């Protein structure tokens, strides 16, 4: 007989089985096997919020298989993920299988490698009931808010709406920013920008008007600009002050969950859910040529910046071999984890730092490779020497006016030879300057006044929203992907390029929540709830008392809102179409039901005419010449198909354009990416071009 090891996913089971050998049977639970019922509240509010768990529908056969294997084994080890959710899954499995939770039958793996699995097997422990209770408290809180508040919103605004403890705050943050943008009043300002050439040189460099010898001057209109320009006619330009120095630029720390999601959004264009899917696969194990199944990264749900000494040494050895000693810092780098973070796991790093991305590229999918490369480069770079820069700042005087120029040159590239962190909004970059000296005369090549207007704050992107949620203590990094998917999937928020914009539904819902449930959408209150859950996890707070503290006020507020809004229904605007109802002659409108958007006659209930909403692209089908329409997969992913289906079977994930192929005359498809390109799908044609061509 062998011991039974239960993990969550088949990929993880396969990788761990390879390391454990024949004495163990490794099986996957496929995530949670027991949960609150989908169709009922399943929480006994009057009996200290006692949850009513049941086997998840469709998993009965799997549970029976787990029970049969457990009975025939020498023992059961629960090896689910090392976090709150994983601990709860192990606790539910222990209940179903009749295991003693006081025995050492719980094991965790920070990385799915031979070393990581061996270390985990050598350190079994009991199930951490504080972690379990923190998960139960979160699950019950979210269930109470969802099941109590969602029907209220559905009744008052639109059928099928949902509310959530974290999602409602996320929508509020986006709505608040939209209101800031609308309220923003642009202010005019001017700059005077000049270009100079040092005498005896051909190098042109730029400088910007600063003020006069008394200090900075703000230029607010064209009249003031023209006056300064007139006074500068035929002026002599001389460098009156020159400051040279050096500065060090240090590498960013290794990734935690939130920074990984932000950087993958900025640099790879990945949505948070896509990032976490690829990260989960890299953690659980990939079949690598000549190595077999191996987990390539450490656990990806973490807010700790701790790095093991072994990993630091491995990174240092790789840097020394590839770039040499000068690329190593004097002492290895350690990073301080922010206050309040859980320190149960290391930062996200490659499990084998010496395994560079090019060595595993052929074994990975595109997403897996891009994300592994990002994680690997960030980690290796964090153990490299600083980038050294030589800086120059020059004050240029003409009559009593001062211009300023600044720039730098890299004297040692350090970690930037491998990696530099992306930015949400690219700051204006300093340029390099020619050799300048104090009292040097400069030749004016060009000078002009430029009008500007102050800009409103930008809309949130996924990256900046995740950053805002983290900074405000809303949710936890492991929940961000699901939160963003929920608020976009339920149309509280739409994407416009990378920007997140609230819909009318999102704004109306937020307004109602602010008026009637101020605590639910209050950022500080929601952050405090997260702190309370952390306190439960650390064993300092009773989880049932936390639920009582929250629910008493929430229930009272809900009852008052229902009383205040009795008989009130909030009407959303309906988008009118050009389609005329053939039954009554009215212009039909776009409505939203439980299964999505459709077209209906506004004369309901007298006229009940409805139609399917078809979104045309304006492109012709490259196969039959029919209309190409927008469609959605079961998972909500947009694709394109021919309106003549099933007569024509054309479908594509890439968007058909209105451009025609110059060779065969068929519609070109556009493949998105860092370098978008157009291509023809006609057999034997093969035409393609980049977007710039």
| Residue 299 is a catalytic residue | yes
Confidence at residue 260, expressed as pLDDT on a 0 to 100 scale: 96
400-426: pLDDT as tens digits: 999 999 999 899 999 999 998 876 554
The CA–CA distances, whole Å, from 647 to 335, 555, 623, 626 equal: 61, 56, 11, 10
Write the DSSP symbol of residue 348.
Answer: B
Confidence at residue 421, expressed as pLDDT on a 0 to 100 scale: 84
Average pLDDT over residues 90-94: 96
Buried/exposed 643-652: b ≥16 CB within 10 Å, e otherwise: ebeeeeebeb
Min mean pLDDT across 155-164, 376-385, 555-564 is at 155-164
**Is it the case that residue 342 has pLDDT exceeding 50?**
yes
* φ and ψ of 16, to 5 deg: -65, -40
Q: How confident is the model at residue 208 (pLDDT cuts 50, 70, 90)?
A: very high
Q: How confident is the model at residue 367 (pLDDT cuts 50, 70, 90)?
A: very high
Other C-beta atoms lying within 10 Å of the C-beta of residue 666: 19
Confidence at residue 542, expressed as pLDDT on a 0 to 100 scale: 96
Confidence at residue 426, expressed as pLDDT on a 0 to 100 scale: 47
**Is it the case that residue 303 has pLDDT exceeding 80?**
yes
433-455: pLDDT as tens digits: 888 999 999 999 999 999 999 99
Distance CA 405, CA 393 (A): 6
Confidence at residue 77, expressed as pLDDT on a 0 to 100 scale: 96
Q: What is the mean pLDDT of the chain?
A: 91
Confidence at residue 335, expressed as pLDDT on a 0 to 100 scale: 93
Confidence at residue 430, expressed as pLDDT on a 0 to 100 scale: 65
**Is it the case that residue 506 has pLDDT exceeding 60?**
yes
Confidence at residue 427, expressed as pLDDT on a 0 to 100 scale: 45
Confidence at residue 616, expressed as pLDDT on a 0 to 100 scale: 84
**Is it the case that residue 641 has pLDDT exceeding 90?**
yes
**Is it the case that residue 261 has pLDDT exceeding 90?**
yes
- Residue 288 in tokens: 């690598």
Confidence at residue 598, expressed as pLDDT on a 0 to 100 scale: 82
CA 632 to chain centre: 22
Average pLDDT over residues 45-51: 95
Distance CA 682, CA 692 (A): 22
Distance CA 621, CA 77 (A): 56
**Is it the case that residue 34 has pLDDT exceeding 90?**
yes
Confidence at residue 341, expressed as pLDDT on a 0 to 100 scale: 61
- Residue 226 in tokens: 């023209």
Average pLDDT over residues 646-652: 92
Min mean pLDDT across 88-92, 132-136, 284-288 is at 284-288
Distance CA 195, CA 207 (A): 6
Confidence at residue 595, expressed as pLDDT on a 0 to 100 scale: 60
Catalytic residue among 299, 369, 460, 678: 299
Q: Which of 454-468, 586-600, 630-644 has the highest mean pLDDT?
A: 454-468
Write the DSSP symbol of residue 104.
Answer: S
The 3-state secondary structure of 7-72 reads ECCHHHHHHHHHHHCCCEEEEECCCCCEEECCCCCCEECCCCCEECEEECCCCHHHHHHHHHHHHH
Distance CA 366, CA 356 (A): 16
Residues for the chain: how many in total?
693
Confidence at residue 199, expressed as pLDDT on a 0 to 100 scale: 83
| Percent of the chain surpassing pLDDT 70 | 96
476-502: pLDDT as tens digits: 888 899 999 999 988 899 998 889 999
Write the DSSP symbol of residue 630.
Answer: E
Confidence at residue 264, expressed as pLDDT on a 0 to 100 scale: 95
**Is it the case that residue 339 has pLDDT exceeding 90?**
no
**Apex 26 CA angle, 23 and 27, nearest 5:** 150
Average pLDDT over residues 150-167: 88
Q: Can you point out the beta strands (E) in 545-626?
A: 575-580, 587-593, 596-600, 610-612, 615-620
Q: How confident is the model at residue 340 (pLDDT cuts 50, 70, 90)?
A: low
Confidence at residue 674, expressed as pLDDT on a 0 to 100 scale: 65
**Is it the case that residue 378 has pLDDT exceeding 80?**
yes
Other C-beta atoms lying within 10 Å of the C-beta of residue 24: 17
Distance CA 668, CA 689 (A): 10
**CA-closest candidate to residue 174, choices 534, 503, 661, 648:** 503
Tell me if 284 sits within 8 A of 299, measured CB to CB. no
Confidence at residue 349, expressed as pLDDT on a 0 to 100 scale: 95
Confidence at residue 425, expressed as pLDDT on a 0 to 100 scale: 55
Higher confidence at residue 628 or residue 635?
Answer: 628
């Amino acid at each position: 007989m062998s011991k039974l090891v239960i993990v969550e996913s088949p990929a993880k089971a396969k990788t761990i089985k390879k390391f454990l050998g024949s004495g163990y049977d490794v099986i996957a639970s496929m995530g949670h096997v027991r949960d609150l019922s989908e169709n009922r509240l399943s929480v006994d509010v009057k009996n200290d919020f006692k949850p009513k768990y049941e086997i998840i529908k469709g998993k009965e056969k799997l549970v029976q298989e787990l029970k049969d294997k457990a009975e025939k084994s020498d023992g059961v080890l629960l090896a689910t993920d090392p976090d709150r959710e994983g601990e709860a899954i192990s606790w539910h499995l222990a209940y179903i299988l009749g295991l003693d939770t006081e025995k050492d039958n719980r094991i965790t793996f920070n990385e799915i490698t031979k070393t990581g699995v061996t270390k985990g097997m050598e350190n079994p422990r009991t199930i951490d009931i504080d972690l379990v209770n923190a998960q139960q408290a979160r699950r019950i809180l979210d269930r109470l808010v969802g099941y109590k508040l969602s029907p209220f919103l559905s009744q008052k605004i639109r059928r099928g709406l949902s509310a959530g403890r974290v999602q409602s705050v996320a929508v509020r943050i986006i709505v608040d920013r939209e209101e800031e943008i609308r309220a923003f009043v642009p202010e005019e300002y001017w700059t005077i920008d000049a270009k100079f050439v040092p005498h005896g040189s051909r190098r042109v460099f730029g400088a910007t008007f600063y003020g006069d010898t008394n200090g900075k001057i703000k230029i607010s209109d064209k009249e003031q600009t023209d006056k300064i320009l007139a006074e500068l006619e035929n002026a002599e330009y001389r460098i009156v002050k020159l400051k040279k120095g050096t500065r060090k630029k240090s590498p960013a720390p290794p990734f935690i969950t939130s920074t990984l999601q932000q950087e993958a959004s900025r640099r790879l264009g990945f949505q948070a859910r896509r990032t976490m899917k690829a990260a989960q696969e890299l953690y659980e194990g990939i079949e690598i040529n000549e190595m077999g199944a191996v987990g390539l990264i450490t656990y990806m749900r973490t807010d700790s910046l701790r790095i093991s000494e072994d990993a630091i040494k491995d990174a240092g050895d790789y840097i020394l071999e590839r770039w040499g000693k000068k690329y190593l810092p004097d002492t290895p780098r350690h990073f301080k984890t922010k206050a309040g973070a859980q320190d149960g796991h290391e930062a996200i790093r490659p499990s084998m730092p010496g395994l560079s991305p090019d060595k595993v590229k052929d074994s990975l999918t595109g997403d897996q490779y891009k994300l592994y490369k990002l994680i690997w480069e960030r980690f290796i770079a964090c153990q490299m020497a600083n980038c050294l820069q030589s800086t120059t700042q020059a004050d240029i005087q003409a009559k009593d006016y001062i211009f300023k120029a600044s720039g730098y040159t890299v004297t040692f590239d350090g970690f930037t030879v491998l990696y530099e962190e992306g930015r949400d909004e690219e700051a204006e970059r300093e340029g390099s300057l020619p050799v300048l000296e104090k009292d040097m005369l400069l030749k004016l090549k060009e000078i002009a006044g430029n009008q500007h207007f102050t800009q409103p704050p930008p809309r949130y992107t996924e990256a900046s929203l995740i950053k805002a949620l983290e900074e405000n203590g809303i949710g936890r990094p492991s929940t961000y992907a699901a939160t963003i998917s929920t608020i976009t999937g339920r149309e509280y928020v739409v994407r416009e390029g990378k920007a997140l914009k609230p819909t009318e539904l999102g704004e109306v819902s937020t307004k109602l929540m602010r008026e009637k449930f101020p605590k639910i959408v209050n950022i500080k209150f929601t952050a405090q709830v997260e702190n309370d859950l952390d306190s439960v996890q650390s064993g300092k707070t009773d989880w049932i008392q936390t639920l009582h503290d929250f629910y008493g006020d929430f229930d009272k507020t809900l009852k008052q809102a229902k009383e205040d809004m009795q008989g009130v229904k909030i009407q959303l605007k309906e988008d009118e179409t050009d389609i005329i109802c053939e039954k009554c002659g009215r212009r039909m409108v776009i409505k939203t039901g439980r299964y999505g958007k459709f077209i209906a006659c506004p004369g309901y209930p007298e006229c009940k005419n409805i139609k399917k909403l078809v979104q045309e692209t304006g492109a012709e089908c490259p196969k039959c010449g029919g209309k190409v329409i927008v469609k959605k997969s079961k998972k909500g992913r947009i694709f394109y198909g021919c309106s003549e289906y099933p007569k024509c079977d054309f479908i594509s994930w890439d968007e058909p354009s209105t451009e025609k192929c110059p060779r065969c005359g068929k519609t070109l498809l556009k493949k998105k990416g860092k370098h978008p390109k157009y291509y023809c799908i006609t057999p034997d044609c093969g035409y393609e071009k980049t977007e710039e061509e």
